Each structure stands twice: as C-alpha cells, then as structure tokens.
Amino acid sequence: MKKILVTGGTGFIGSHTVVELQNKGYEVVIADNLSNSSENVIDNIFKITGKKPAFGKVDVAEKDQFFKFLSQHSGIESIIHFAASKAVGESVQQPLKYYRNNINGMINVLEAMKEFNIPNLVFSSSCTVYGQPEKLPVTEQSPIQPALSPYGNTKQINEEIIHDFLSVNQGLHCIALRYFNPVGAHPSSLIGELPLGVPANLVPFITQTAAGIRECLSVFGNDYNTPDGTPIRDYIDIIDLANAHIAAINRMEENKQKSSLEFFNIGTGRGLSVLELIKTFEEATGVKLNYKIVGRRAGDIEKVWADTSYANKELGWKAVVPLKETLLNAWKWQQKLADN
C-alpha cells in the first residue's frame, strides 16, 4: 500500500482527493493547519471510506513543525500539495499573507522531497496563471500572463520555483495541475466546500443564498465582453478533479512523464457564464435565487475555459460528472449543513 502525504487534506479539494486515494487503496497522511477547514472532516472521510487517514495539525509554511511531522511518518512516496491561502479578493487586500503562506509552504515541500527522499509531487496550480488569455480555449502552451492578483502570482511563482528546483535535483518529479473552477460536493453529503466566514467562491454563495443564509447573491459585473455580460468560467466537479490527482500520481509511479515537470489543464472544456450557472442551479434544484448585479470585483478575469485534450490523452483522465448533478450535490451538502 503506497503512502501519500496530502497537505491541506481537510480542505475542499484535499478532502475529496483523500477519499478517492483511500478508495483506490492508498495510505494517506494529512498535514493541515485547519485555517480554513475542520478536523471533523477526518471523521467524515472515515464514514465514506471506512478508513481514517493519519492526521497532524501542522502548518506546512513552518518548516520545523512540518519536518518534525514528516520525521514521524516514514515511507511517504508522493506528496499532493494543496495547503495554501486561496481567495483572490482577500489576496488583493492582504498580499503579504499570501506570499508568506503560499511560497514558504512550497519551498518547505520541495526541501522535504530532498530531505525525506520523496520522489513525486503533484502541485495544486491554477488557471489563474493564464491571466486573461488572448485565445480561448486555453492550452498548456498558452502564454503565462501577468497575474491579476497576489493569489494568482503565488501560483506562477511556485511553478517557477518548482522548475528551478527540479532542474538541479535529478530523480525528483512534479506534475502541476492547473485547475479551472472546482465545484460540487461528495454525493454522500458528508464532505463538501465549507468556507469559514464569507465564501470566496461562487457556488457556496449560491447555495447559502438558496438556503436563506444570505439574503441576496451579488453578481460582480454584467458589462464584460461575453454573451450575457457576466464572466465565464470552466466549472469542474470536485470528484472529477480529485481523480485527476490520482491519474497524475499514476503517471509518475509508472515513469510515463516526458519531463521532470509537466503541466495539465484540469477542467471540462466548456465555459459557462455566472448567469448560466445560476440558471443551471435553479433547474437542477427547483430553487429560485435572489440575485442582483453589482460592480466588478478587483482581480477578476473576464473569461477563461480549458482545452483539456492533452490531459485527456496523456493522463487518461476526463471530466464526466454532469453540471446539474454537481450543483445538486452542492445543494444537498448545504442542506445537510443546515440540518446540523
């Protein structure tokens, strides 16, 4: 049974990835400082999979703490690195928090690969590295644009750090997955997106508005150069996204990489506007949403969606969950939260 370290493993993407890893027979060790998640997630992972991952409340950005934790867990063969601050808007307001947390964490993970002989890394990157692309859909060869937010900039910088590190450390490997917009929840309604405080992402805003927790959903801008004036994104189901990480791990374990650092776009290949997403949610759930158009938000990109053909071919992976099912799962998760 291969052992994998998942940093940020109690978070939204991390927890769903831990579930899929355990379902595939991997032994999982989680390091998470619980800054944007809850330790209850561990119990819910156990309810879904019948296995409890090893867990430590660890800040990956604090090297001594992180290395002490790793010294207690021998035999780790791969790392999936999620742990990072992730809100675009907050990063504009608090840039140093993002640079300190996201970049220090990355450096510590790379140093840990050397120190503890861990050959494989999957890095949680982002489509924000493409900025506002000149051509759509975005391929892995699309130019990296100047970042529109400190959050996006940390993803770009971390990709560069990984590149420079691997160029002088033979035998270490990384796949950087450039996600588009992860949405949804586990079909069991036992885990899902659990933002502490004000959500940074659109779907929790939608479900909280539908549940009456928020009076009104704000749509940031309707004067973009898109068919209905609202921004367009590529929304990918959280389980599909989780499985992309397992495909990446498999590729490294089977020595199928074409270079020590590879990049893959992880999305559906379809762009949807904010208003289209709202309409799809209403159709999937039968719940009408109260929303209003407000001004644009700093750092937001007008439109972006993925060309996923390279990931489909090379990773043998494809997004398969229909968006209505994804949004219904997100709504069921929100209702479960309300019942608790």
CA angle 266, 151, 160 (to 5 degrees): 70
Contact 136, 306 (CB under 8 A): no
Clarify whether 26 is annotated catalytic.
no
Which tokens is 187 given? 């079909």
Q: Using CA atoms of 286, 289, 127, 84 in order, give the dihedral in degrees to the nearest 10.
A: -100
CA atoms of 183 and 186, how far apart (whole Å) = 10
Contact 249, 264 (CB under 8 A): no
User: Annotated catalytic residue: which of 26, 98, 130, 151?
Assistant: 151
Q: Residue 53, preceding bond cis, omega within 30 degrees?
A: no
Q: Where are the beta strands (DSSP E) in the chain?
A: 3-7, 27-32, 54-57, 76-81, 120-126, 173-179, 181-183, 217-220, 232-233, 235-237, 261-266, 272-273, 291-294
Which tokens is 105 given? 């964490």
Burial of 197: CB neighbours in 10 Å, binned 0-12, 13-18, 19+:
exposed
What are the residue numbers of the active site? 151
